Structure 1
Amino acid sequence: MVDIQALDKALQEIVKKRNELEKIDYNNPKYDDLEEQLHDLEDDFQSEYGEYLEDALQDVHDELCPDNDVLMPIAYLGKGIPVETDKYAGKDTKLLLETNPTRLTLTIGKDKKEVVWTAK
């Protein structure tokens, strides 16, 4: 059984760390430390929640975008992963992992979003 609140908190920590990294330059002396902290958070997240999220991603992929390979869950966080879906053929669609609550969202074009899975 997965602790959904802990899962979401871990995701939020990764998002926060990524945002910190984006705000500073590569030449900043803090950059390497922050990057290492981010990788540690991502590794811990993957070992703790990877299997749970990969199962959810597999179900969503099977239903919406069977021609696309399932990637590591962390890859879907942030900008999302472009996918091909018959339901929205010819449209720019991405699968995105979001927090609060932890969910997978399908973005269609620039202004349409559809929640396709929520952590329970």
Structure 2
Amino acid sequence: MNIQEINTALVTIIQKKQELSKLSYNDDRYDEVEEELHDLEDEFNDSFGEYLEEVLGDVHHKVCPDTDVLLPTAYLPEQLNGDGQVDVTGKEGVWVEADAFPNKEARLVLVPNPTRIILSVGKGVREEVWKA
């Protein structure tokens, strides 16, 4: 699997999400940008979904075995900062029941630069649980 292609596709999708978030529903371009985002997400899942679902399955097995694996695009954050990195907040990614953090709100986030999966718990825990 070409990790650089995955990383580039992740950045492209997140940038498109950012572009869409800056538009109001009344903007003439909103529907067009939203459709472009859906096309990018579909292409990403078609190209890399099988590989990433296997990776996510392994991560879920280790970190949150009681939580179902979703499509890889569900784990993506909404934006990149000025340095092309993700500032993982407590609301990015997919909610999971992390065994190591019972009764805590935990999320898995698939982030680029480098491509990796972060376990985010509350405001303080950001643990890399997989790196490409």
Q: TM-score range by the shorter chain?
A: over 0.9
TM-score where L is the length of structure 1: 0.96
Identity of aligned residues (%): 50
Residue identity opposite 2:109 in structure 1: L
Structure 1 CA distance for aligned equivalents of residues 2 and 107 of structure 2: 26
Structure 2 CA distance for aligned equivalents of residues 66 and 91 of structure 1: 15
- Structure 2: which 5+ residue stretches go unaligned? 78-91
Match of 2:88 in 1: none
Residue identity opposite 2:19 in structure 1: E
1:1-30 deviations in Å (ceiling 9; x for gaps): x11111100010000000000001011000
TM-score where L is the length of structure 2: 0.87
Match of 2:107 in 1: 94
Structure 2 CA distance for aligned equivalents of residues 43 and 105 of structure 1: 23
Match of 1:37 in 2: 36
Equivalent position SS for 1:66: coil
How many residues are matched?
118
- Structure 1: which 5+ residue stretches go unaligned? none
RMSD across aligned positions (CA) = 0.7
Structure 2 CA distance for aligned equivalents of residues 37 and 86 of structure 1: 37
Structure 1 CA distance for aligned equivalents of residues 20 and 98 of structure 2: 33
Residue identity opposite 1:54 in structure 2: E
More helix by share: 1
